[in-house]
Chain A
Amino acid sequence: MSGLSLHKKLEENIGLLIFGILFVSSLGGLVQILPLLNQDMTEAAKNTRVYSALELTGRDIYIREGCSVCHSQQVRPLIAEIERYGPYSRAEEFIYDRPFLWGSKRTGPDLHRVGGKFSDDWHRVHLVDPRAVVSESIMPGYPWLARRNATQAGNIVAKMRGLRYLGHPYSDEDIEAAPGQLEGLKEIDALIVYLQRLGTAYTGERSQ
């Protein structure tokens, strides 16, 4: 049977056609994705710290406000980037990132190494009114973050339980203590704690 008459069968049989499309289109994903999913990250994991209740709350606010629309969290291994932002990003730093927040656009600068670069007070002013500290900035202000309580940003106990189910090493004590850690704080505080931790949680070897 020639290739053409074989193909004629496909053209006249919808079941075969559906199967053909599914088979051919799944090959690429199987080859590229499966090996990564099976990668053992336990060795790398011991050098990366899991997010605290406050950091996690801040991270989810970062997601909610769409910060990753304009800010990447992925320093490329290029001289100019290392000079501008700091050491390039490595896979093991992101093992507790659900979802990843590498972004695809830098309308504003990369934030993966922003932790510790500015004071908490600078962030507090900047997040509410960016142009008060950077006159050329086109970043939106987020005044509501200073008004809303950190406890309003979702049920932290449910979140940490969900992440523990996915393998994040939270103890019962960690989860029990979580609501108390958010008490009395605003959303902006949580976001700043997250920003200050960015790119600093990895304690293993790092080549420049």
Chain B
Amino acid sequence: MIDVNNSTYHDKVVIRLIQFSVIWAVVAMTVGVYLSAELIWPTIDFGQFWLSFGRLRPLHTNGILFGFGVSALMGTAFYSVQRTSHVPLFAPKLAWFCCFAWQLVVLTGGISLLGGMTSSKEYAELEWPFDIAITIVWVCFGIVFFGTIATRKIKQIYISNWFYGSLIIVIAMLHIVNSLAIPVSLTKSYSIYAGAQDAVVQWWYGHNAVGFLMTGGYLGMMYYFLPKQAGRPIWSYRLSVVAFWAFVYSYIWAGPHHLHFSAIPEWVQSLAVVMSIILLLPSWASMINGIMTVSTAWEKLKTDPALKFIVLSLAFYGLATFEGPMMALRSVNVVSHFTDWTIGHVHSGALGWNAMVTYGTFYFLVPRLVGVELHSVRLANIHFWLALAGTMLYIIAMWGAGVSQGLLWLSIDEIGELSFSFKDIMSSMTPYYALRLVAGLIFLGGTVLMAYNLFMTLKGRDAVVVKVPPVDPAYGVNS
């Protein structure tokens, strides 16, 4: 056995990132609920520019993606890369820098969005000074992560690290290319791409921010924490490898399905359709791999809310990655595009998959990090049902609204006149929007319960000191 000179894992930074992630979840979801209320009662912005829908909505999406999402991914990546490499974090001070600098970027960036500083490109709204700051923190994240792998004591690089690694590499590439712009002042820049070119670059970014942040990163989380939680090795390691490369290759092509029937070349749209359908395979391969890993441990679902969350998240991952390719078909897209169906689709992924796999991981990880039991398993079980109910109601409401909008907009009567005016269709959406508000409140309620539960679990406790275990020479780098 190779003893790794008594070193210990760096887990305090993991705890801090999880705390930030939970705070952002509550803040950004609250903003989401407020936005959904504004669509029912448009005057509740009280004539204040910073409460205006157009400025608040990017705060919601950026808060979820970069606050809740990236903090959770960074924290869990730092945790799992140490365990799978059998070394402490490479450059732990840099890891702390990533942790706090990232929060500062999200916080000040969020304020800048309310101030009207925006590039308007979806999920890339932050203006150029923030784009530079994001790049710097991201490179540091990469140095810590890949540096840890480079100094590892285990010969093989475990699959979760590939997914986390693809998150870091591909998001860096997308972010830099899509954000290229000429600054004209501290708060304003113009994209170096114009019109249709800008559209293709933006949706190459936008689709793959979903692909590599909300899918790749979270699959890394799933591939580490699901086997840990289930106490079983991953069902088929070979399948995970095949799925990985197929995922990295095919996701990138699908972006232009966001631009069907637009002024971009038709061959680009058609190629995106084909690749979107192909994308179903690696997506479902990972889902099946995850579900099969639990297949001999189903009895744990009765008692373990963390595992319940992760297994349910895989079901929603499967649902969303089936719905996505279907919406990429031109015949479906003609109805779904520009409607609330898209919003529903995003949330079936973001609530059902991303939030739930994160919640499951947090319920598993937080008690372990401080060496106690979860404060309340009962509250976590209540949270599970709130999360499920909220997600389902949200999806149902948005399907109702979206399919209605899509069909009614296209509806033409027998003499070729439009059947309905836009404002009549719009004003008939109130019941769906009300249901969505309720769904959002239920989901937010669950998240607040979790925040309380994790707070009580962590309260007054410090991270357990975990020694790096010795490496079996058969798997060590020097064998």
- A residues with a Cβ closer than 8 A to B are 7, 11-12, 14, 17-18, 21-22, 24-29, 31-33, 36-37, 39, 60, 63-70, 72, 74, 76-81, 83-84, 89-91, 93-110, 130-131, 134, 136-144, 154-155, 158-159, 161-163, 165-166
**Known contacts A11-B157, A24-B249, A138-B426: does B53 contact A29 (CB below 8 Å)?**
no
A21-B248, A154-B184, A166-B182 given; name 17 further pairs at CB < 8 Å: A14-B157, A18-B165, A22-B170, A27-B249, A29-B252, A69-B58, A72-B338, A76-B261, A93-B263, A99-B193, A99-B198, A100-B198, A105-B338, A136-B427, A138-B39, A140-B42, A159-B188
**Known contacts A28-B253, A65-B116, A109-B422: does B165 contact A36 (CB below 8 Å)?**
no
Q: Which residues of A contact B249 (CB under 8 A)?
A: 24-25, 27-28
In the assembled complex, B410 has its CB within 8 A of some CB on chain A: yes
Q: Which residues of A contact B376 (CB under 8 A)?
A: none
A66 & B53 in contact (Cβ 8 Å cutoff): yes
**Known contacts A64-B116, A100-B195: does B268 contact A32 (CB below 8 Å)?**
yes
In the assembled complex, B84 has its CB within 8 A of some CB on chain A: no
A12 & B201 in contact (Cβ 8 Å cutoff): no
Taken together as a complex, chains A and B put the C-alpha atoms of A45 and B183 apart, in Å, by: 24
Among residues of A, the one whose C-beta sits closest to the C-beta of B244 is A21
Among residues of B, the one whose C-beta sits closest to the C-beta of A145 is B49
Taken together as a complex, chains A and B put the C-alpha atoms of A161 and B182 apart, in Å, by: 10
B199 & A21 in contact (Cβ 8 Å cutoff): no
Shortest distance in angstroms between A33's beta carbon and chain B's nearest beta carbon?
Answer: 6
B418 & A83 in contact (Cβ 8 Å cutoff): yes
Q: Which residues of A contact B338 (CB under 8 A)?
A: 72, 103-106, 110
**Known contacts A14-B146, A140-B54: does B199 contact A104 (CB below 8 Å)?**
no
B58 & A78 in contact (Cβ 8 Å cutoff): no
Taken together as a complex, chains A and B put the C-alpha atoms of A59 and B53 apart, in Å, by: 18
Taken together as a complex, chains A and B put the C-alpha atoms of A17 and B256 apart, in Å, by: 27
Shortest distance in angstroms between B201's beta carbon and chain A's nearest beta carbon?
Answer: 6
A66 & B57 in contact (Cβ 8 Å cutoff): yes
B194 & A95 in contact (Cβ 8 Å cutoff): yes
A96 & B423 in contact (Cβ 8 Å cutoff): no
A139 & B42 in contact (Cβ 8 Å cutoff): yes
**Known contacts A65-B116, A91-B264, A99-B121: does B426 contact A136 (CB below 8 Å)?**
yes
Q: Which residues of A contact B250 (CB under 8 A)?
A: 28
Binds A, one of B8-16, B148-156, B437-445: B148-156
In the assembled complex, B339 has its CB within 8 A of some CB on chain A: yes
Shortest distance in angstroms between A22's beta carbon and chain B's nearest beta carbon?
Answer: 6
Q: Which residues of A contact B385 (CB under 8 A)?
A: none
Among residues of B, the one whose C-beta sits closest to the C-beta of A94 is B195
Taken together as a complex, chains A and B put the C-alpha atoms of A28 and B202 apart, in Å, by: 14
Q: Mark B218-253, 1 if CB is under 8 A from A, else 0.
A: 000000000000000000000001000100111111
A70 & B265 in contact (Cβ 8 Å cutoff): no
Q: Which residues of B contact A91 (CB under 8 A)?
A: 195-196, 263-264
B38 & A140 in contact (Cβ 8 Å cutoff): yes
Shortest distance in angstroms between B276's beta carbon and chain A's nearest beta carbon?
Answer: 12
B252 & A76 in contact (Cβ 8 Å cutoff): no
Q: Which residues of B contact A108 (CB under 8 A)?
A: 422, 426
A21 & B422 in contact (Cβ 8 Å cutoff): no
Q: Which residues of B contact A130 (CB under 8 A)?
A: 42
Q: Which residues of A contact B185 (CB under 8 A)?
A: 154-155, 158-159
Q: Which residues of B contact A154 (CB under 8 A)?
A: 184-185, 187-188
In the assembled complex, B296 has its CB within 8 A of some CB on chain A: no
**Known contacts A18-B146, A25-B166, A78-B334: does B423 contact A134 (CB below 8 Å)?**
yes
